[in-house]
Amino acid sequence: MSFVDVEVGYVKMSARADNRHLNPLGDVHGGFAASVLDSVTGCAIHSTLDAGVGYATIDLHVKMLRPVPRDQDLVGEARAVHVSRNLATSEGTLKSSDGKLLATATATCFLKRATS
């Protein structure tokens, strides 16, 4: 995965599944899509936080809509939806290079603030 675009509350990454990401049936494992979506949704939240505030995903809900192609550039995008003192939510998509929607996700993250 690599960053393509980052703004406050928004992240776009590129990713590519290869033979290392196959399940026993020879298809790209669903965990690949989940990993990309966890990364973009978490980073979208991270982009809204002050320095020194960390985060951890506490819930990731992924819907697989199409098989993830192997050896093709993929696009993961996410936006922060809500950020409060202790929790933040975001929504993300994984698309093929021709724009077909492969998977969607919603994430909730716990925000870790330094204690004084």
Query: Per residue in 29-64, pLDDT tens?
Result: 999 999 999 999 999 999 999 999 999 999 999 999
Higher pLDDT, 74 or 113: 74
Structure tokens at 96: 């093929």
> Residue 101: how many CB atoms within 10 A of its CB?
12
Band of residue 113 on the pLDDT scale cut at 50, 70, 90: confident
Helix (H) or strand (E) holding 93: strand 87-96
Average pLDDT, the chain: 95
Domains along the chain? 2-112 (3.10.129.10)
Instruction: Write down the pLDDT at residue 59.
Output: 98
Stated pTM of the model = 0.94
Instruction: State the average pLDDT over residues 98-103.
Output: 97
pLDDT for 116 beyond 60: no
